[in-house]
Amino acid sequence: MALDMSTIAIINGGNAFVRRYDPRSAARNAKQIARLFPADCTLNILGYDTTATPPYDVDTIADAFAAMIRTQHGAVALAGISFGGFVATRLAARHPELVRNLILISTAHRFSEEGLHRVREQRASAARGDFLAMARPFLTLFRKRWRNHLLRAAMWLRRNSLAEKMNAPEFIAAMLDSAPAASGRESAHLQSVRAKTLLIAGTHDQFFDEAAVRETASMIPSAKVTLFPNETHMLAIEQPRAVTEAIESFLRE
């Protein structure tokens, strides 16, 4: 069967609202994301509006992205990565006419207990403007330990310049507040998702455990799950080819 060639709109995870926009880091991030999707698809990575007026909530963010998609593309395949999955599922539920297919990577409708604890730690550190401490919950996420060691060393070397690379602490804290507020909140919206849906996750994801992923899939009318044994929240970075194959197979169905 031919590949669904509609545009894929991508809502990224927390790193997209934590880091201040920089063309070079944005290009690196875009290249990393592009590796996850078939080469012959058109990708549009949506960015969070750092000038928006607080308070921030996931439904409001979803509606803002929906307006952007409606104006620029019409119906799309929609992908949500990590925090972006909270937004993507609500967008698909609230604006079903805009979403042909829904792809959820390393995410679910709620955090695991460990994930909730990690996010709350991050939020407290962000509110203090302690960006090194805010990064700590991410320094143990890779399955391959050498990657964690490298990331830890890089963060330490850049500790004195972290603040200039980050968005305002109050913006980050408010966005991190919106995640736990959405986690586990009423899940009735999932039943309104009409798009064919694929959930991709690792069984050892530190933010969204297997139970949360399966729970999410069970509440979406047309959903399937692809789980990778022993992989973590960094599945997409450590196993990009396997993720791409799962997405391409899904889009060809």
Whether the predicted model's global pTM rises above the 0.75 cut:
yes
**DSSP H stretches of helix in 95-221:** 113-128, 131-135, 145-157, 162-165, 169-182, 210-219
Query: Among residues 199, 223, 226, which one has the least CA distance to residue 81?
Result: 199
pLDDT at 116: 93
Per-run averaged pLDDT (10 residues), the chain, 253 residues: 69 88 87 91 90 83 94 92 95 96 97 94 91 88 90 87 88 88 79 96 97 96 97 96 96 88
Strand partners, 104: 80, 199
pLDDT at 23: 85
| pLDDT tens per residue, range 5-63 | 578 999 999 888 888 888 888 888 899 999 999 988 889 999 888 887 777 889 999 99
SS3 state at 178: helix
